[in-house]
Amino acid sequence: MTKFTDLNLDPKVLKAVTDAGYETPTPIQAGAIPPALQGRDVLGIAQTGTGKTASFVLPMITLLGRGRARARMPRSLVLAPTRELAAQVAENFDQYTKYMKLTKALLIGGVSFKEQEQLIDRGVDVLIATPGRLLDHFERGKLLLTGVQIMVVDEADRMLDMGFIPDIERIFSLTPFTRQTLFFSATMAPEIERITNTFLSAPEKVEVARQATASERIEQHVVMFKGSRRDRAASEKRALLRALIDAEGDKLRNGIIFCNRKTDVDIVAKSLAKYGYDAAPIHGDLDQSKRNATLEDFREGRLKILVASDVAARGLDVPSVTHVFNFDVPSHAEDYVHRIGRTGRAGRDGKAIMICEPRDEKNFVDVERLIDKEIPRLENPLGTAPSDAPAAEEESAEKPKRSRTRKRKTDRPEAEAEAPAPRAEAKDEPKAAPKSSESRSRSGGRGRRDDDGKVVGLGDHLPSFIALSFAERMTG
């Protein structure tokens, strides 16, 4: 079995790895580190949670052990799709360079430009950044990329999903043609393959798992859910989520709940907190300091349940997450693999439970097709309660409304049936009909006279002078 001592890493790096408690590299590390140390381009394909970060950090800092950075000209560049993933890479860098004198700068949103510019001005060996913030510094004239010797693109498929591919291509064009490129992705979409063919030179391809497969250590389940009524489906779905959490009992030490929309992240987190669950939200609209504090609480065990959007699906390095709940079926099937990859890490067992509504069935079929297996169905822990019971209540609540509606409908014909009665009687009297017709013709259709010669049809409040004028007109 290969060990880190067999990979020709710098002795100081090996010492830091040993301090971290690692002896045996993961398959992606064992496959990517040797060619990276030889200066070759590497294309790494592996699912999330397999140790991709160390597979490029360790050879990178070994290669950078000699040399010195110049002001505004970083020697290496690591691109990450999210702030959280970039921060994780920075933590790995600090962990493995504890015995080396290498400097770094972290360029992410939510941090002032001035602080970041001060670090760049001093000169850094490793620049870790999100694409947008990196280009912001470049356009300000505060950064030069002509000195980049090693360039790393991490979670490239996530970059594609987030629309960063044009930025990535531009950044590639700003770096030297002679750079070494380490390119990592969990899946190989056609667009990703096009980029690798364009910017990588005869790369060593390291694929440690079939594309878009979930770890076999993750127990997967799905609950097929249908709300009793459209306006109650959301609250019933949250009740089902609470029941699924309760059903896990003590086995659930901590967990992440994924929602497709940021608004649902807030709603679900508030709902759980309302019912006494230790939960907090994290998504892209939160302030960076709040996001960092929430993640830190979750990592340290002070927060049990993290409700997240896909911003946390990548780069959240918490090896001991026991459960992942997909409150929504992800819109992109690949995101399912990344979400459940937050559990079952570092050789541990994990459990992933997903809730699927009728509207999500198409996306659910895509997920099963991608992972090439059928996800076992799990019975609803509430039985028929979330759908049948509320439906019965709503049916009983609707009955008075329907009865009132029927009553109004039946009243209307009765009124219409009673109205023609006087006219029917008038038809039965042959003398009245001609008189009424004659009256209408002489008065312009505004009234008629009864048998006593009085004007009728205009109300009891008819002024006497109006009646008189009719009378004069009729006798004239």
Give pLDDT tens digits for 325-351: 999 999 888 788 888 888 887 678 899
Helices 11-19 + 52-63 axis angle, to 10: 150
Q: Is the pLDDT of residue 440 over 60?
A: no
* Average pLDDT along the chain: 81
Q: Is the pLDDT of residue 107 over 90?
A: yes
Q: Interior CA angle at 408 toward 403 and 409, to 5°?
A: 95
Structure tokens at 370: 């991608």
Structure tokens at 186: 């969990």
Cα separation, 25 vs 344, in Å, equals 17
pTM comes to 0.63
Cα separation, 315 vs 36, in Å, equals 22
Contact 262, 285 (CB under 8 A): yes
298 C-beta neighbours (distance < 10 Å), count: 23
* Greatest mean pLDDT range, 139-143, 337-341, 409-413: 139-143
Low-confidence winner among 202-216, 221-235, 301-315, 369-383 (lowest mean pLDDT): 202-216
* Confidence tier at 246 by pLDDT (50, 70, 90): very high
Q: Which residue has the higher pLDDT, 69 or 280?
A: 280
Q: Is the pLDDT of residue 178 over 60?
A: yes
Q: Which residue has the higher pLDDT, 338 or 56?
A: 56
Give the pLDDT confidence score for residue 453 in this predicted structure.
54
Right CATH number for 4-207 from 3.40.50.300, 3.90.320.10, 1.20.210.10, 2.60.130.10? Answer: 3.40.50.300
Contact 282, 312 (CB under 8 A): yes
Q: Is the pLDDT of residue 30 over 90?
A: yes
Q: Is the pLDDT of residue 95 over 80?
A: yes
Q: Which residue has the higher pLDDT, 381 or 127?
A: 127
Cα separation, 54 vs 81, in Å, equals 17
305 C-beta neighbours (distance < 10 Å), count: 22
Category of 283 on φ-ψ map: left (φ > 0), alpha (ψ -120 to 50) or beta: beta
Give the pLDDT confidence score for residue 419 in this predicted structure.
44
Query: Which residues are 280's β-sheet partners?
Result: 306
Question: Quick one: average pLDDT of 160-178?
Answer: 92
Question: Quick one: average pLDDT of 433-460?
Answer: 49
| Max Cα–Cα distance, the chain, nearest Å | 128
Query: Which residues are 353's β-sheet partners?
Result: 221, 325
Strand order in 323-326's β-sheet?
A: 218-224, 350-356, 323-326, 255-258, 305-308, 279-282
Cα separation, 6 vs 221, in Å, equals 40
Amino acid at 316: L
Q: Count of H helices and E strands in the chain?
A: 18, 15
Q: Which segments of the chain belong to CATH 3.40.50.300?
A: 4-207, 218-386
Give the pLDDT confidence score for residue 66 in this predicted structure.
78
* Confidence tier at 378 by pLDDT (50, 70, 90): very high
* Strand positions, DSSP E, 336-467: 350-356, 448-449, 455-456
Q: Is the pLDDT of residue 276 over 60?
A: yes
Pairing status of strand 455-456 against strand 448-449: antiparallel
Q: Is the pLDDT of residue 428 over 70?
A: no
* Greatest mean pLDDT range, 251-260, 401-410, 444-453: 251-260
* Confidence tier at 49 by pLDDT (50, 70, 90): low
Give the pLDDT confidence score for residue 346 in this predicted structure.
67
Q: Is the pLDDT of residue 237 over 90?
A: yes
User: Of 194, 49, 174, which Cα lies nearest the Cα of 183?
Assistant: 194
Low-confidence winner among 14-23, 65-74, 121-130 (lowest mean pLDDT): 65-74
Question: Quick one: average pLDDT of 279-288?
Answer: 84
Chain-centre distance for alpha carbon 325: 12
Contact 303, 294 (CB under 8 A): yes
Q: Is the pLDDT of residue 34 over 60?
A: yes
- 179 HSE (CA, 13 A, CB side): 27
Low-confidence winner among 167-176, 279-288, 300-309 (lowest mean pLDDT): 279-288
Q: Is the pLDDT of residue 212 over 80?
A: no
Cα separation, 5 vs 11, in Å, equals 9
Cα separation, 180 vs 279, in Å, equals 43
Cα separation, 137 vs 115, in Å, equals 12
Q: Is the pLDDT of residue 442 over 50?
A: no
* Strand positions, DSSP E, 74-191: 76-79, 104-107, 126-129, 150-153, 180-185
Question: Quick one: average pLDDT of 373-400?
Answer: 60
The set of residues, in sequence order, having a beta carbon less than 8 Å from that of 121 and lying 6+ positions away, is: 71, 72, 142
Q: Which residue has the higher pLDDT, 6 or 419?
A: 6
Give the pLDDT confidence score for residue 315 in this predicted structure.
57
Amino acid at 219: E
Contact 144, 73 (CB under 8 A): yes
Question: Quick one: average pLDDT of 99-109?
Answer: 91
Contact 325, 255 (CB under 8 A): yes
Structure tokens at 53: 């970060």
Question: Quick one: average pLDDT of 88-103?
Answer: 91
218-386 fold: Rossmann fold (3.40.50)
How many residues can be counted in the chain? 476
Contact 210, 179 (CB under 8 A): no
